[in-house]
Amino acid sequence: MCGIAGIFDSQRTPSAAELAPMVRIQRHRGPDAEGSLVEGPIAMGMRRLSIIDLAGGDQPIFNEDGSIAVVFNGEIYNYRELAEELESRGHRFRTHSDTEVLVHLYEDLGAGMLPKLNGMFAFAIWDRRTQSVLIARDRMGVKPLYYAAIGSRWIFGSEMKSLLVHGSLDTALDEEALTDYLRLSYIPLDRTPYRAVRRLLPGHFLQIRRDGGHVRRWWDLAEWEGKLAEDSAVLEASVRELFDSAVHLRMRSDVPVASFLSGGLDSSLVTVTAQQASSHPIQTFTLAFEHTSFDETPYARAVAQQAGTEHRELTAATQDAIDLLPRLVWHMDEPMGDSSIVPNFLIARFSAEHVKVCLSGLGGDELFGGYSRYNEPGVGRIRSIFRHAPLAARWMAPHVSSWHYSWGEELKLAADRTQAWRAYLHRIQIFNPSALRKLGLAARGRAEEIFESLWNRFPGTDSVSRRQFVDQHTYLPDTILALTDRMSMANSLEVRVPFMDYRLVRLSQRFGSSLKQHGAEFKILLKQALGGRCPPELLNRPKWGFDTPLNRWVSQPGMVEILQGLPYGIAVREKLIDPAAIRALVESPQAIFRNARRLWNLLVLEVWLSVRRELVPPTISLRDLVSVYA
């Protein structure tokens, strides 16, 4: 695991001094070693967190004749099998690292190597023969990569801050992207808060030559036959086989591998399966907050005891955790309105005191149907009824809007068969378009265009799978995987995600709603295939995961004062947001409680605007940061 950065300039050789700050600002991603290459039009470097081949895996790594070099962030889990294949074709290896596989594979196949990789990765391969660089990202977006084109120069890095320290980057804000952030709580697809910076999409590569660069897709979630398997027994066997393989591959390491254990189904399955594959007790880690009903430790203890792990728990004080927000937002590089960044950071920091690598159950919900928003039976039945009575839907909508905005909108959308994508967007948005206009945002944003396009690209007809398809392109890589990467790497901890094995992803596309959700039952096939590995009380417990008691957080006395200072903050002073709209959200404790998610979004934006230019993690607390507004 590493942080990488680089510069490609078609007109001159970049200097080592130009590259150095881009690499060193990512020291938290790799505290163990640093390496770089400056040659011709390329300067690229990395910070290393040593996991595999501790002595021989320093980068850059070269092929036999030195014509191909790589800097690499991530893990190639099937590297042993690939190395055997390459050695049989005459390649000579100098190390036992997974990184060296990349240069030899590229030597044979070029960009055609990418489908052979099973892993999480973002890497840059310099080819002296063609004077070009290949920059690629893994299929699901577990590892990040940002880039920008500036005249004759391209710059890239694992984190956006590595680009921001390069003096030539235009840091003008992208107001469309910020509108999308406030609506969704994240910025989707390739956009970032800065007009000049792009995120390399999952399953894509960027090829740069002296005459320019282009981005190409090398793996596509939509490229499957669209047919659903019908034999549930065969599917159950396939789930068991591929899940076990995914976990076992992610146990490959030259340092101990531990596991996050939330007490939910997904992390429990990962933990139990990892323990079964280990000859000694693995370490497991669980987080709880003081004075909250969101306590999963009893479930986690039951799993740890049954599996025989070496279990540790951390109980965090809520206000102390929230005070870390400036530091966490700095590490995120962009506004991210998911409050689970707090527990993700805390559990990563706690785990990093003991290990370098942890497994995670992330992704199980997006593959196997763990979210209620994928299939809300009550709303679905109402939509079905009113499809046959559209006039009744239009008449009733304004009357039920006063009960809850979403019900009124659902009924309006039920009258139009073509608006199913909009209904899903409506269900998950934080600020609706009307609320965004009240905030004074001039930019429309791209959320509707993105959701409609993805909805229509889905190759099948299954409704739950279609919603998952949208999430797998947006919420999963741009929120869940992004915050997991930043919060873990902020603590120099590698997190591996078995559910993101591309073989499991493809398998999840082969079964429909009936094996994912039915009524109040979720992840049906996953439970049928693997549920017997967990304590019985775990299978039907409420879903919490890394959820946080956000309404309670924002209602604490100290937080109320902080939120009431938002109308005087940077977002208002820079005329991004109308202060009157914020005042309406914080006019009373009841309003604050009711608008918790909206206010958290605004608070994170405010903190990001305050810390985005810092060159080191800020040590100021949230209370001190916003006290200047009082």
Concatenating the DSSP letter of every residue in 70-131 gives: EEEEEEETTHHHHHHHHHHTT---S---SHHHHHHHHHHHGGGGGGG--EEEEEEEEETTTT
For residue 37, give both structure tokens. 């290459």
Residue 564 contacts residue 299 (beta carbons within 8 Å): no
> Would you give the distance in Å from CA 39 to the centre of its chain?
33
Cis amide linkage into residue 567, ω under 30° from 0: no
Length of the chain: 630
Residue 69 contacts residue 131 (beta carbons within 8 Å): no
Name the nearest CA neighbour of 217 among 149, 105, 141: 141
Name the nearest CA neighbour of 102 among 115, 117, 87, 84: 117
Name the nearest CA neighbour of 168 among 189, 145, 151: 151
- C-alpha–C-alpha distance, residues 465 and 370, integer Å: 12
Q: Which of 2, 113, 347, 538 is catalytic?
A: 2
Strand-strand pairing, 517-518 and 521-522: antiparallel
For residue 612, give both structure tokens. 């985005």
Residue 274 contacts residue 301 (beta carbons within 8 Å): no
Residue 452 contacts residue 446 (beta carbons within 8 Å): no
Residue with tokens 């792990």: 309
| Helix (H), strand (E) at residue 45 | strand 42-48
| Helix (H), strand (E) at residue 103 | helix 99-109
358 is catalytic: no
- How many CB atoms within 10 Å of residue 99? 28
**Catalytic residue annotation:** 2
